[in-house]
Structure 1
């Protein structure tokens, strides 16, 4: 098939939606499909169709003129009133058999509307909740409520063009159905290739906590820092924050104020190899976010054989089964988070190994090849196997 994937965020952006689109596109190329991607330009002057290497595979990426959104540390956007014109040009050039949009915002919206006019099959995956972007709107509180209602109505209007609507987890699908008129939303994991990660099942010599992700408000990293101050000093636990974002400076200041700066490392952006090494070397993965529709980072930690301590919010309970491969804690409760961390760090080698193996077993259900096969069926208009 000739497949056009529409993304409002894509390489070199670092976030779950972009990583999913990259892995999906590369996997489809490996299976012999002709894959095209429509995505924002990396700089305003770099516009047009380019052959790019994504996840080790060559594909055509149609870069659309975009502008930096300065309240955000890296986000770029296509001018909404120009998006449909760009969409028509790309569709005339590519003539795809199917369009797979990754959001309902700008590029996805334009491709859905123009693709529907041409009778092209459209599959939509939702990675975005309007609530997730409030930190970057600069709106006053009274206007935020209006924005969220408008956002869900806008999503509904776009998603009605799709023959199939997916989202990464059942809980996220239920949330989408509650906020729109869409029904039969199918949960399809973002997936990953577990063999790309290395699990160290030997007893740990040091107590290293790790978080991987964007350093932004919605990740609630301040809760992790406050929990670190509550840990028994005899554990000598350290924390590595892998990633970057607009909150890094504020969190560095907070770590100093809390007296834990010497035990906290901010790595900034790292290569895939460095990210995997940080996970392999860690003892526990900690995530306090309350807005995860799945969390690829958590799956990467599981594939690295790590117990996970996660906020009991949105989709994280789909990945973390309390007492099996980690523990859940009440969102925002740093005291409870600290108790859960200590519980894992004090496990015997045998009990700790059991949690490691539980993570490795649980992540098997999220194999990327199963995800790609599901989307291939949806592209053909078939019902995927359960």
Structure 2
């Protein structure tokens, strides 16, 4: 085996598969080009999927780039991570790329040893593409989840504006070529599935929500006094707070949130996350005269994240390339009203006037007005938060995990059905 990779361990053959039946748990190998400590939605989803499946008794292995560069194999929370030798992506400081040399041979050995019921690829780039090819060569069914939109890469790879439509067409074609050779394709929302169809993808696509941990993300308990204590602990001023959680990169359009803050009477904007645009956002806050009302928390640990949501009054998101938005689901589970751009999949998470509002992307004035509508009426805001929580309950992580387990077993048995007929599919409407 190439020395570009960690040695495969354990070296013993996998235990026999259990007989079919309700207690049967799948054996799955998940392939991804991004995994924590990478900071993005696809990485977080993949980690929660892997750990959630392992917690239900599935045998889960993940193959992904090493965050340090050197290869290794490690087990965390029941998930065996096969970290591939990696190098800097050169386009983003938090993303590394697997070194291509020797990848295919390593994946062949891994598949032979693990004998998975299915492989599940989370990207169509190097790791996902090569794992899918290796699995097909061995007759192992391939399940794919699409988290990709070309817009989410353009800033990183510095594609000039005039060339972006052409680059997008090539990127969609390449994605379709990989996904078309899989047994089952999922996306987080019906809107994301529709987008694939609009791009000419002919195979059935099943919407399965990313899911949210309703126990881990829950509403504030204790009222205003508890909220004040949380804000003090996190270093957040005690005033009406609009929250955004996510990367501060181009496609998140956080500048609209800053400009909207300048158009509200007194609300402050709390930005939890880091990214290449932080400096320009800080400069914009000064230019808009709201530097004292824009708080940058930087990276927030998973342990502190639930309390970050609990110290806010409303969640706002301006991105127009969201295939679901895990952060918005977490905010809803935390009992927050939502003000979101009327774009891509975000409308699936907003019931106008019931748990929040949509606004026209590119209109900070309209965004500010919708925020004011929420924060001006405390009773209405609380009712909206309760409805957000009720909507989030339709996206239970356990339901998504159960559906993925069935997809793996159906694919292994050759009984996978089209999305339109998939009983119990976890839809994201």
Question: What TM-score do you get using the length of structure 2 for normalisation?
Answer: 0.84
Shift of 1:82: 5.0
Deviation string 1:278-299 (CA, Å, 9 cap, x unpaired) is 1101001010011100000000
Shift of 1:2: 1.6
Give the corresponding residue for 1:362.
Answer: 391
Distance 2:86 2:353 in 1: 46
Distance 2:52 2:218 in 1: 21
The answer to whether structure 1 residue 170 and structure 2 residue 190 are counterparts is yes
Distance 2:89 2:348 in 1: 33
Give the corresponding residue for 1:182.
Answer: 202
Shift of 1:301: 0.3
Give the corresponding residue for 1:156.
Answer: 176
Give the corresponding residue for 1:6.
Answer: 31
Residues 165-174 or 149-158, more deviating: 149-158
Bigger Cα Rg: 2
Distance 1:337 1:140 in 2: 28
The answer to whether structure 1 residue 29 and structure 2 residue 54 are counterparts is yes
How many residue pairs get aligned? The number is: 377
Distance 1:343 1:142 in 2: 38
Distance 2:376 2:133 in 1: 55
Unaligned runs of 5+ in 1: none
Distance 1:384 1:25 in 2: 23
Contact 1:6–1:99 (CA under 8 A) maintained in structure 2: yes
Deviation string 1:222-252 (CA, Å, 9 cap, x unpaired) is 00000111112xxx21111001111111111
Q: Find the residue that maps to 1:25 and give its secondary structure.
A: helix
Question: What TM-score do you get using the length of structure 1 for normalisation?
Answer: 0.94
Deviation string 1:268-323 (CA, Å, 9 cap, x unpaired) is 11112322111101001010011100000000000110000000000000001111
Equivalent of 2:360, from 306, 312, 330? 330
Q: Find the residue that maps to 1:278 and give its secondary structure.
A: helix
Contact 2:142–2:182 (CA under 8 A) maintained in structure 1: yes
**Equivalences for residues 240-259 of structure 1 within 5 A:** 240-259=270-289
**Equivalences for residues 313-328 of structure 1 within 5 A:** 313-328=343-358
Shift of 1:219: 0.5
Distance 2:251 2:296 in 1: 17
Distance 1:227 1:325 in 2: 20
Contact 1:62–1:90 (CA under 8 A) maintained in structure 2: no
Q: CA RMSD in A?
A: 1.7
The answer to whether structure 1 residue 220 and structure 2 residue 253 are counterparts is yes
Distance 2:303 2:131 in 1: 34
Distance 1:81 1:317 in 2: 43
Deviation string 1:1-53 (CA, Å, 9 cap, x unpaired) is 221011111011121111111111111111111110011111112x03222x2
Shift of 1:198: 2.8
Unaligned runs of 5+ in 2: 1-25, 228-237, 411-415, 417-421
> Relative CO higher for 1 or 2, CA cutoff 8 Å, sep ≥ 6?
2
Distance 1:371 1:330 in 2: 31
